[in-house]
């Protein structure tokens, strides 16, 4: 809410990556509580991490990506100058969606790297692991698993390259961004899971990197919009309004 020459912010945000080490936060706030559609009354506001009334709390250990902390942010009568408004008032949600359209490509690229890392280590393992006096890479079932992993990775790469090129040309749209993220993060989850299977017991041990890739892959399907949100974007854009 506005009060004089300031915004006064109250509320809580969970699951903020590296929130405890940030100097500033860009906060999506409800600045017009009377908006007929709530999201049309939202704005982006820049908040200094040292502002009175703003506190952080670590959320503890995650399944993966443990190089990054997960933080709770709590706002209690946090006063911020009106000049800290980012963009146009009431356009906060729209600006966030534009950001997500772009940032989902970064998550797709991260997913490809995760899948590629697991794939390369699985490939190395099957060439060196022997059963019945020959490498398990000689068995057709294993070879087909590697082929499937390769198909998924290369398909995701092509979509991600296309999305990146569209972004460079100013033609990246929410639909293509959404389907790229789904394809790439699905590939990461499926490839890392198959890599664990190929390594057997070794794939489950923390001494090996495969389980690390597997754990890190899951969150990529969740961040920047889960599949329900992304499929809605694709369907709404493809089908359009019904009569």
Residues that are catalytic: 224
CA nearest to 215, candidates 41, 65, 40: 65
Euclidean distance between CA atoms 227 and 220, whole angstroms: 11
Provide the token pair at 41: 């009354």
The secondary element (H helix, E strand) that includes residue 72 is strand 70-81
Euclidean distance between CA atoms 149 and 117, whole angstroms: 12
Provide the token pair at 184: 């790439």
Euclidean distance between CA atoms 207 and 192, whole angstroms: 16
Euclidean distance between CA atoms 139 and 135, whole angstroms: 8
Euclidean distance between CA atoms 53 and 76, whole angstroms: 5
How far apart are the two ends of the chain, measured CA to CA in Å?
A: 38
Provide the token pair at 99: 């950001």
Instruction: Give the bridge partners for 26, in sequence order.
Output: 46
Euclidean distance between CA atoms 78 and 180, whole angstroms: 38
């Amino acid at each position: 809410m506005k009060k004089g020459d300031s915004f006064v912010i109250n509320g809580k945000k969970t699951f903020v990556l590296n929130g405890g080490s940030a100097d500033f936060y860009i906060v999506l706030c409800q600045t017009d509580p009377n908006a007929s559609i709530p999201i049309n009354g939202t704005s982006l506001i820049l908040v200094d991490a040292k502002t009175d009334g703003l506190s952080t709390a670590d959320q503890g250990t995650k399944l993966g990506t443990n190089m990054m902390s997960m933080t709770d942010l709590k706002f209690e009568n946090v006063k911020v100058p009106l000049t800290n408004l980012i963009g146009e008032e009431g356009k906060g949600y729209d600006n966030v969606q534009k950001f997500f359209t772009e940032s989902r490509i970064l998550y797709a690229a991260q997913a490809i790297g995760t899948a590629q890392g697991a794939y390369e280590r699985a490939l190395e393992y099957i060439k060196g692991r022997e059963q019945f006096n020959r490498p398990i890479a000689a068995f057709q079932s294993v070879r087909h698993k590697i082929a499937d992993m390769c198909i998924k990775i290369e398909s995701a790469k092509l979509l991600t390259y296309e999305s990146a090129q569209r972004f460079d040309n100013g033609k990246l749209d929410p639909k293509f961004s959404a389907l790229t993220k789904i394809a790439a993060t699905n590939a990461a989850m499926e490839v890392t899971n198959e890599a664990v299977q190929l390594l057997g017991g070794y794939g489950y041990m923390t001494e090996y990197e495969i389980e690390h890739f597997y754990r890190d892959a899951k969150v990529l399907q969740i961040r920047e919009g889960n599949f329900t949100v992304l499929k809605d974007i694709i369907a709404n854009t493809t089908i359009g309004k019904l009569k």
